[in-house]
Amino acid sequence: MKTYDLIIVGAGPAGITAGVYAARGRMDFLIISLDVGGQAAWSGDIENYTGYQFISGIELMEKFQEHMRQYGMAFKEKEEVLEISGSGNLIAVKTDKEVYQCRSLIIASGKRSKELGVPGEKEFKNRGLTYCATCDGPLFSGKDVAVIGGGNSALDAALQLIKIAKHVYIVHNARDLSGDAIMIQKVRQAPNVTVIDDSLVVAVSGGRFLSGIKIRSASAERDLAVQGVFVEIGLVPNSAFFPGIKKNSSNEIIVDSRNRTSLKGVFAAGDVTDVPEKQIIVAAGEGAKAALGAFKFLATGRF
């Protein structure tokens, strides 16, 4: 079995940037990921990535992929990492297709959408209920939809949907929206948006397809007729495949300022870690740091 200098798990902003730095360091490395772009590819309008005054998530990830192709990176796409074990001299990465070996590892597996956990959610998934406005928004043209959540991801989804849907309801469980001020301003100025504060979704209903949700506030329960629901209540780190690594109470992998984890030779970067700000530009910078750390570790043996 071949032993790589480095394996990178994940191909979002952190993983791809780590790959660019690994390629420039002439490392023998492999990237393994289910997809390319991760959560960033689902973003709508991006106005805070340096060098681009305005770009969509899909367009930005296409630029990242162009950079990958320029370096001819070894890439195993559509492979799911099931288990990682070992540290130090040899690390094993088991996927749903094969087992790989490496001397150093960067975990950049990002996060996935958190589920509501209410009756009807699983039954109406992909039948009106979705977790990606960028992917599925066009299917709801001219319809009434609800975005569940009040942070940046929810606001981003709402801003995409106001151009497509007839009416957008934002349902969240706080007294006020919690995202960036400029995004909140745009949402509140939209004529086809209604914000429902201090409310929880307690059920999803319909027939063949979703037709409504039940929401509960402090005073009462009521039904809201919508044909689409976009769940944006937060993210869960993709870290379960490595039980031996130290994590915080949110299951984020704990890293230091050099992106080192609790295990020798293992680095982590991006949204899967406990770095406080979950932003595309932050993830990219963390990926660069992790790759530089891996290079120094292999060159010196010091971690």
Q: Identify the helix (H) or strand (E) that includes residue 292.
A: helix 280-300
For the chain, the distance separating the N- and C-terminal CA atoms, rounded to the nearest angstrom, is 25
> Are residues 242 and 207 part of one domain?
no
Q: What is the distance between the alpha carbons of residues 116 and 39, in angstroms, rounded to a whole number? A: 18
Domain end call among 231, 263, 284: 231
How confident is the model at residue 198, as a pLDDT?
Answer: 97
CATH number at residue 285: 3.50.50.60
> Are residues 221 and 147 part of one domain?
yes
Q: What is the distance between the alpha carbons of residues 126 and 228, in angstroms, rounded to a whole number? A: 10
> Are residues 85 and 50 part of one domain?
yes
Domain assignment present for residue 283? The answer is yes
How confident is the model at residue 48, as a pLDDT?
Answer: 86
Q: Give the domain range for residue 196.
A: 129-231
> Are residues 208 and 152 part of one domain?
yes
> Are residues 10 and 47 part of one domain?
yes
Averages of pLDDT over runs of 10 residues in the chain (303 residues) are 96 97 98 91 81 90 92 95 90 97 98 95 95 89 97 95 97 95 96 97 97 94 97 95 95 98 97 93 97 97 93
Domain assignment present for residue 122? The answer is no
> Are residues 160 and 172 part of one domain?
yes
Residues taking part in catalysis: 132, 135-136
Domain assignment present for residue 294? The answer is yes
How confident is the model at residue 26, as a pLDDT?
Answer: 97
Residues 102 and 74: beta-carbon distance below 8 Å: no
> Are residues 136 and 101 part of one domain?
no
Domain assignment present for residue 121? The answer is no
> Are residues 95 and 63 part of one domain?
yes
**Crossing angle between the packed helical segments 13-24 and 280-300, to the nearest 10 degrees:** 40
Query: Total structural domains in the chain?
Result: 2
How confident is the model at residue 39, as a pLDDT?
Answer: 80
Half-sphere exposure of 184 (CA within 13 A, CB side): 9
Domain end call among 231, 247, 282: 231
Domain assignment present for residue 120? The answer is no
> Are residues 95 and 9 part of one domain?
yes
Domain assignment present for residue 220? The answer is yes
Q: What share of the chain is helix, strand, coil (3-state, %, to 5)?
A: 25, 30, 40
Residues 78 and 95: beta-carbon distance below 8 Å: no
Of the candidates 247, 258, 242, 244, the residue with the CA atom closest to the CA atom of residue 296: 258
How confident is the model at residue 41, as a pLDDT?
Answer: 80
How confident is the model at residue 38, as a pLDDT?
Answer: 85
Domain assignment present for residue 119? The answer is no
Domain assignment present for residue 118? The answer is no
Domain end call among 212, 231, 250: 231
